[in-house]
Structures are given as C-alpha cells and as structure tokens.
Amino acid sequence: MGIFGRSKVTAGLDIGSGFVKLVVVDHSRGDPEIVKIATGPLVQDAIVEGEIMDPVLVAETVRTVVDNAELSRAEVVAAVGGHDVIIKKIQMDRMGHEEARDLIRWEAHQHVPFDMESVQLDFQILDPDGSGPQMSVLLVAAKRELIENRLALLADAGLRAAVVDVNAFALHNAFEHSYPDSMVGVVALVNIGHETTNMSIMEDGIPVVVRDIPFGSRRIREALQRERGLTAERAEAVLQGGEDGVDLEGFVAERVDELAVGIERAVAFITAQSGGDGVDRVFLSGGGSQVPGVARALADRLGVTTHIANPLERVAVSADVNLKVAVDEVAPMLMLPVGLAMRRA
Ligand SMILES: Nc1ncnc2c1ncn2[C@@H]1O[C@H](COP(=O)(O)OP(=O)(O)OP(=O)(O)O)[C@@H](O)[C@H]1O
Ligand SMILES: [Mg+2]
C-alpha cells in the first residue's frame, strides 16, 4: 500500500508468440520489488510473425495468466513492436522540445515509410544540452492500427492499458536497471524469443540500431523435427535441455548463423558511421538464449564473449511471488515484462 492507500503497483504484460508473461512490480517502497510473476504458453500458431491470428484464444490465454497472478486491478502496461514500429535516430535543427513537437511529423515524413495519417509518433531529444546547429533525436513511429488492435485485445481480456510502450524501450529499460555499468561503448542486447529476436545495439547507452530478426527457438525446433525426425514435443524437450542423446551444439551453430549475420550488419553500420572497432559486449536474453549451444555458437561466430542477461539481477523478488517453478528458470524470458513493470504507471 502506498500513501492514502493508493496502490503503486505496475503490471507489465508481454504477449509473446510462445509465452504470455506478466510481471507485477510494487513501487510503493524506495526500490521496486517484484510481487507477482505469471506465465502461460500460447497455442501453436496463435501468433505468427508477430501477427495475432487467433485473438479470442490469445485473449483467453492472457486472461488465464492475469487470473493466476490474482491481479487486483485491470490496468496493465503493454507494448508493441515488429514491422509496424520504426525507431530511428535522426538529425534535425536544434530547437526546444515544444517546438520539436510541432515539427516532428514533418521530419518523420522524410524518415518513415508509413502513411503519416495513420501513424502515432513519439520522440526524444538525445542531446538536449548540446550546442551544435543540429541535434540527435530518437524518433518512434507506430502504426495506429497496431496500437488499436492491441487495445482491443486487452479489452477482450478485460484489461485496460495504462501505457502502450515499445518493445525495444522496455527491453532497454530493464537492461539498464540491472546492468547500469553497461551503458558505455557498443553493447548489443539480443532478446531471442520463440519466433523473433529483438536486437538493440547501443552506443553509450543510446539505442542506435533497433531491429527485429526473424529468428527464434521455434526455428531450431522445426529444424530438429524436419531433419532429425523428432516429434514437436520431443524437439521442444531437447531445446529445453530435458533430453539427451541429440548433439544439439553443432546443430544449433548452423542455425544461429543467420542471427549472427543480423548482428554483424548492424554493428558494421554503426562502426561505418562513428568509427570504433565493433561490438564490445553482447548480452543475451529471451527463452531462446536458454537453448543449449546458442550462447556459445554466437560467441564463436561473433568473436566476442556473450553474457546471459538476467533482468532480475538488481531487482528484489518478493518471497511470496507465487510461482510454480524456480524464478531463475523463467528469469531469462522476463526482460521485456520486467522493463514494462518498472514504469510507474
Ligand atoms: N529452459 C529453456 N530452455 C530452452 N529453451 C527454452 C527454455 N524455456 C523456454 N525456452 C524456449 O523459449 C521460448 C520462449 O521464449 P520467450 O518467452 O522469450 O519468447 P516469446 O516472447 O514468447 O516469443 P516472441 O517474442 O518471439 O514472440 C519457448 O518457445 C521455448 O522454445
Ligand atoms: Mg518475446
């Protein structure tokens, strides 16, 4: 309970294609504390390539997860991402925030390949204290339809959105909280999910290249099914480390190549722009980072050490978080929902 009995609790909801995840953070004391964690698997193909194919089923799964967490209020912080969200660092004439707000639509017009009428914009001046004639601005454009669909889905699950954030910012938020010392140099944050990898390359803590790569644990599972004749269940068990007798490491190395290429391209883009000699550190998160061999294969391929980032590294977790499995087991999957719940709604 906060002052005047008003609850200062934020619920972060991440609707992934593999799992729906909910993290509830209590902000009423000085440091944030996680008081609830709930996850629930989604039925195969309910979400494909970021698109919600079966809204009824997804809303039901969300409802189940929310009920498991015994959420007392219907308000959540949610997020959108994918092709219909563009994050871009741009340069524009130096001006104040208010003035920039008036001009941002016109500026965005030159950088965003969407119909400006149907787009929601947000921005942040990255160097407000700078003095040059130009300033760096992080521009965010999201198709309005994407946000409306997300709100409708939440409504179907009996929820309201306090805020609709952007996936990449939530990941950044959680990462910065647990790894404040990694806000220097070129750092890659690579969140490997079930279908999608959210990649964010930061330069001194500012996300300069933000991109989704169509790669996830599903890709490895399907390759196991196809090339080794495993059933979907068995292949999934192998991925989750529960079955021996399959040489996963070599198999994974080949599949991870595509992901490595995506990261290399982004890093090459940055070094071409601002010099330097490549990526300093790579942090992995997401369920896909848990697949045996993935972290090592990426490290070998990129020639950099990879670290598994734990979004709970510096966040207190309440003793009665009420989770059926060990917190450590789900932690890697929670980077995004933790980042959402860290916001004081
Ligand atoms: N312990 C584990 N070991 C290996 N893999 C795991 C483990 N736990 C989960 N996974 C894999 O991670 C996937 C889920 O990861 P995550 O929750 O990050 O993805 P998602 O957010 O649902 O998907 P996306 O963001 O791509 O839509 C599962 O589909 C599973 O294959
Ligand atoms: Mg995800």
Question: Tokens at residue 314, please?
Answer: 């510096």
Give the sheet arrangement for strand 134-143, strand by strand: 85-93, 134-143, 119-125
Q: Is 26 in the pocket of ligand 1 (CB under 6 A)?
A: no
Tell how far the Cα of 211 is from the centroid of ligand 2, in angstroms: 13
Identify which of 48, 211, 217, 336 to mutate to test ligand 1's pocket (most ligand atoms within 8 A of the CB): 217
Give the separation between CA 273 and CA 205, rounded to whole angstroms. 17
Residue 107: left (phi > 0), alpha (psi -120 to 50), or beta? Answer: alpha
Tell how far the Cα of 272 is from the centroid of ligand 1, in angstroms: 33
- 3-state DSSP assignment of residue 88: strand
Domain 180-308, architecture per CATH: 2-Layer Sandwich (3.30)
Answer whether residue 343 shows pLDDT above 60.
yes
Backbone angles phi, psi at 223, to 5 degrees: -65, -40
pLDDT value, residue 2: 40
Tell how far the Cα of 65 is from the centroid of ligand 2, in angstroms: 16
107: number of CA atoms within 13 Å, CB side?
24
Q: Is 287 in the pocket of ligand 1 (CB under 6 A)?
A: yes
Tell how far the Cα of 141 is from the centroid of ligand 1, in angstroms: 27
Question: Do the beta carbons of residue 58 and residue 46 sit within 8 Å?
Answer: yes
Q: How confident is the model at residue 3 (pLDDT cuts 50, 70, 90)?
A: very low
- 3-state DSSP assignment of residue 191: strand
pLDDT value, residue 135: 97
Of all residues in the chain, the percent with pLDDT exceeding 70 is: 97
Give the sheet arrangement for strand 75-80, strand by strand: 160-166, 75-80, 9-15, 19-26, 33-41, 316-317
- 3-state DSSP assignment of residue 20: strand
pLDDT value, residue 181: 96
Backbone angles phi, psi at 93, to 5 degrees: -60, 140
- Residues around ion ligand 2, judged by CB within 5 A, are 16, 193
pLDDT value, residue 150: 96
Identify which of 14, 19, 213, 246 to mutate to test ligand 1's pocket (most ligand atoms within 8 A of the CB): 19
Domain 85-143, architecture per CATH: 2-Layer Sandwich (3.30)
Answer whether residue 7 shows pLDDT above 70.
no
Answer whether residue 5 shows pLDDT above 80.
no
Q: Is 12 in the pocket of ligand 1 (CB under 6 A)?
A: no
Tell how far the Cα of 306 is from the centroid of ligand 2, in angstroms: 19
Would you kindly state where each structural domain of the chain is located, as residue ranges? 85-143, 180-308
Give the separation between CA 113 and CA 226, rounded to whole angstroms. 37
| Model pLDDT for residues 245-303, shown as the tens digit of each residue | 777 888 899 999 999 999 999 999 888 988 888 899 999 999 999 999 999 999 999 99
Ligand nearest to the CA of 329: 1
Task: Work out whether the CA dihedral 83, 86, 88, 91 comes out positive or negative.
Answer: positive
| Model pLDDT for residues 59-92, shown as the tens digit of each residue | 999 999 999 999 888 999 999 999 999 999 999 9
- Judged by average pLDDT, the poorest of 2-16, 73-87, 298-312 is 2-16
Q: Is 182 in the pocket of ligand 1 (CB under 6 A)?
A: no
| Model pLDDT for residues 236-259, shown as the tens digit of each residue | 999 998 677 777 888 899 999 999
Ligand 1, atom 3, lies closest to the CA of: 240
Mean pLDDT of 304-325: 93
Name residue 191's beta-bridge partners.
198, 285
Q: CB neighbours (10 Å) of residue 268?
A: 12
pLDDT value, residue 26: 95
Question: Do the beta carbons of residue 126 and residue 137 sit within 8 Å?
Answer: yes
Q: How confident is the model at residue 29 (pLDDT cuts 50, 70, 90)?
A: confident
| Model pLDDT for residues 103-122, shown as the tens digit of each residue | 999 999 999 999 999 999 99
Please list, in sequence order, all residues whose beta carbon lies within 8 angstroms of the beta carbon of residue 252, skipping any fewer than 6 positions away. Answer: 220, 291, 292, 293, 294, 297
Mean pLDDT of 49-63: 95
